[in-house]
Chain A
Amino acid sequence: MRRALLIAVPYLWLLALFLVPFLIVLKISLSDTALAIPPYLPTLDFSEGWAGIWGFLQQLDFENFTFLTQDELYWRAYLSSVQIALISTLLTLLVGYPIAYGMASAPEHWRATLMMLVILPFWTSFLIRVYSWMGILSNEGLLNQLLQGLGLIDQPLTILNTNTAVYIGIVYTYLPFMILPIYAALEKMDDALLEAAEDLGCSRLTAFWLVTVPLSRQGIIAGCFLVFIPALGEFVIPSLLGGSGTLMIGKVLWEEFFNNRDWPVASAVAVILLLILIIPIILFQRNEQKQREREG
């Protein structure tokens, strides 16, 4: 009896506030836009019994999805979201790997402090971290002041409100997600392997490519997924650092909902975003499982 209650409370909570809302999105994505409150048709009417439900089902269609495939804006938004997320993930890897490597080779008594320094920004507001770059990257910003002061450029560089600023923002905010799994993989590595490689005639660089990188592969894969998945649906970074030309699907969904008040299209955008996300999520889980099996 107690056990049933223990299971029921969180179960019902998640059903009511996670699964049901999601089914509503699915349903509205199949409805039509209407000038009404709520602004879509059909609405489910139970008073007519089964005939009402049947009539309701017959009115659902894939019109919004057809609309999304025909309007070029949405195609471009999905493609450019994937592109921006991919490029930023690679950049995060390039920035994050040397840091994780440096941490793993630091003297043992420093490592706890270094770990905390990596995690600390994660507790600070995401919004504030994104905002902090606005003052640096703007035309009169500190970066341009510095570069002009050094005489490297004559005209200020336009970085804010471009895709470059979005890349910087994503790298900056998601860097801890990349560093931590790579560091965890590197820290477990046995140094004797590197010594063995060097004894057998590898240069340090070759030893790094042939031994260190393959051994940290799991960390690299996990880090890349942990950055790619949230970056794909990102809203705050493209809307603060990106410009009007920055197309990301999270932003499109937001505007469709709040500016155009087109709920059915916004819901259809959400459903497709989720379909795109399912592939990397499944790959990520499979990767994690493989690793657990190898270790367990």
Chain B
Amino acid sequence: MRRFTWFNATSLTLGFAFLYLPMVILVIYSFNASKLVTVWAGFSTRWYGELLGNQAFLDAAWVTLKVAVASSSLATVLGTMAAYVLVRSGRFAGRTLFSGMIYAPLVMPEVITGLSLLLLFIGIGLDRGVLTIILAHTTFAMCYVSVVVSSRLVSFDRSLEEAALDLGCTPFTAFRLVTLPIIAPAVVSGWLLAFTLSLDDLVIASFTAGPSATTLPIKIFSAVRLGVSPEINALSTIMIAIVTVGVITASLISKRASLAQQRDAQAAARAQ
């Protein structure tokens, strides 16, 4: 047991204060009655009301949600396939290029990804809009999904799959009945990661969205460039609340699932 000293306690307190205070302040000031964001003038929910009446923000939120759901679902399918290929397919022509293309987008600066996709869409004459953002988000999110899923695939016992094949399953049925349930937690977290990445992305969306489609981050960015605004504070508060509830729920569910799994394993051990 290492010593949990005053020094450690202080550095943790200061560290977490640094991580959380800016967001706490943001949330507090979203309830400020004054238009001036830095002067407190009493409690009010006025900005939430104005936000809900702002059609442009609501439209952007709707576009963002559509893009996030579509691209994260597509990315999950493609990313899981890519992970399976990377871990299970052994050697094939162009394997090095394939794994390079999976890992490169993870370290590629967003400005470059955005620029290159935009030049492609213009080159093939595809009108920019919701579809092009979905294609762009799917491409970089599938790489994150495949990293998450392949780390799970590497750690699982391959003989389970082989047993299913020996018992007469087709490879696809074996995947559906044996592999998929085992890697499901990784697939779900891959989807969640892809979803948040899409929800959050400003740079790639700015390049690939035409004038016809505006996502929430693009809208926020253009508003925030002019300075701090209480409406944006209100919007941020809503987004922070959704994420916090989502992450805590997800972690409680996965904790319960792993506890249940432990119980099953113990019961199985006792039964033997």
Out of B92, B101, B112, name the residue touching A270 (CB < 8 Å). B112
Main secondary structure of the interface of B (DSSP, over half): helix
For A135, the chain B residues whose CB sits under 8 A away are: 25-26, 29, 37-38, 228, 233
Find out whether the CB atom of B200 lies under 8 angstroms from the CB atom of A17: no
Find out whether the CB atom of B217 lies under 8 angstroms from the CB atom of A127: yes
A50 interfacial by beta-carbon distance below 8 Å: no
Instruction: Select the stretch in B12-20, B52-60, B177-185 that faces chain A.
Output: B12-20
Q: A116-B251, A125-B217, A138-B38 are in contact. Are A274 and B92 (CB under 8 A)?
A: no
Within 8 A of B (CB), among A76-121: 95, 98-99, 101-107, 114, 116-121
We find that the number of chain A residues with CB closer than 8 angstroms to chain B is 80
For A3, the chain B residues whose CB sits under 8 A away are: 89
Instruction: Select the stretch in A52-60, A62-70, A216-224, A250-258 that faces chain B.
Output: A250-258
Find out whether the CB atom of B112 lies under 8 angstroms from the CB atom of A274: yes
A145 to B98, CA, bound (A): 54
A172 to B23, CA, bound (A): 11
A56 to B92, CA, bound (A): 34
Within 8 A of B (CB), among A132-191: 132-136, 138, 140-142, 145, 172, 175, 191
Find out whether the CB atom of B109 lies under 8 angstroms from the CB atom of A232: yes
Find out whether the CB atom of B115 lies under 8 angstroms from the CB atom of A101: no
Find out whether the CB atom of A38 lies under 8 angstroms from the CB atom of B122: yes
Which of A14, A124, A250 has the most B CB atoms < 10 Å from its CB?
A: A14
Out of A19, A124, A141, A250, name the residue touching B38 (CB < 8 Å). A141
Out of A117, A134, A254, name the residue touching B16 (CB < 8 Å). A117
Out of B2, B79, B142, name the residue touching A104 (CB < 8 Å). B2
The 8 closest A-B pairs by CB, nearest first: A233-B109, A99-B15, A21-B116, A98-B11, A105-B2, A132-B22, A10-B82, A102-B12
Apart from A10-B98, A136-B22, A140-B39: 10 A-B pairs, beta carbons within 8 A: A6-B89, A13-B138, A17-B135, A17-B136, A24-B120, A99-B12, A117-B20, A131-B232, A136-B25, A253-B115
5 contacts between A and B (CB under 8 A): A129-B23, A131-B224, A175-B18, A240-B224, A270-B115
